[in-house]
Amino acid sequence: MKTKEDKKAKASSTKFLLVSSLLIVILAAFLSRALPRLASLSHHLSPGLRYQTHSNSMSYTKELEVAQLAVQRAAILTKRVFHEKAKGTVSKDDKSPVTIGDFGAQALIISALKANFPDDEIVAEEEAAQLREDANLRQTIWNLVKSTQLSDSAAESLLGGGIKDEEAMLTMIDYGNSKGGAKGRIWAIDPIDGTKGFLRGGQYAVCLALMVDGDVKVGVLGCPNLPIDDAAPLTGGMESGQTDEGRGVLLSGVLGQGATSRPLTTGTLAKEQSISMKAITDVAAATFCESVEAGHSSHGDQADIAKLLGITNPSVRMDSQAKYASIARGAGDIYLRLPVKATYQEKIWDHAAGDLIVREAGGAVTDIHGKRLNFGIGRTLADNKGVVAAPVAAHPQVLKAVQDVLSKK
């Protein structure tokens, strides 16, 4: 027979269960409403704060800092060569030019990567075979490399300091022989993207990107001849005659964390600021960026696409991934690289960093068929043809115009 105490205990237990159940229902209802709002809010936070909502993401903090400083140090070397009348130009097997700056910058970047991430693979544009056969060329490059360092000792130390001798320099250059692929950590380097622009005194870029399992996670572009001011509009004449005054910018992006720019320096990293693509309300008012070299992208097709879209602003021609950098910070709007030869395959080092930075700045980047660029196949974008980069909202309209024009060829 139950006592009075037993009945009171049972009543108390029942009351507790009812209250607990009610609290659980209220909490579930609150979370169902709050979580989507929090997720939406996270996209409006600064890149650093936004990252905190992605607990399963990697921050890549060290990779980013090393990459930024490595590109900044390499840019010092390239600027020294840029101001020389004789840039030590030689020709590669495909007849494209390469300078002493290309070799020196690649050696310095790879040295920094190997000091910090010794097991990572590297896909880079240059190789040292020609330097092993040409003692004078090798010595000229070594003199540049051994005398280039960051003015901040802590920053230079983070990169592992200098390269010890000529043979080590050649070894560093040849570490860039990875075949690429969709597995593991692989860096892509273009020590001087836009060598022809570099030679004529125009735009060029020092480019570095980290891919993990074929997906670009970190991208850095050093553009020594772009204006420091992110708001500076693009003008004609950027393909030559560039000076140092008010120029030199370092752009970076980390997947899921946004994109930034900062002035290039010779020492520690300067203060950064977030960048974003310019919102386009009327595509007809947009500005195109296109390659200087007609052999890199079809100027005639681009003119037809501009006409179809109602764009009357003259296209701004410049070399290198400086085009990606320019649209990412709102100085330009649309970048097209239209196929000239059916058999040509773009190199991954020509696009990896720029692709990520534009996407993190609010853009969309695809090929002419609307497919994302695939960096996991090898050293080339074998699965893609051409490049269409534009603000997310405008990309479908631009892509359709591209396809309409190219379908008539």
Q: What's the one-letter identity of residue 362?
A: G
Phi first, then psi: give them for residue 124, nearest 5 degrees: -135, 160
Rounded CA separation 61/254 (Å): 9
User: Tokens 């070399």 appear where?
Assistant: 319
Name beta bridge partners: 366: 388
102 is catalytic: yes
- State how far Cα 300 lies from the chain centre: 28
End-to-end CA, the chain = 95
CB-based contacts of 255, cutoff 8 Å, min separation 6: 57, 60, 215, 216, 217, 218, 356, 360
Q: Given 78, 99, 148, 195, which residue is catalytic?
A: 195
Is the Cβ–Cβ distance between 155 and 268 less than 8 Å?
yes
78, 99, 102, 319: the active-site residue: 102
Q: Is 195 a catalytic residue?
A: yes
Q: Which residues are catalytic?
A: 102, 195
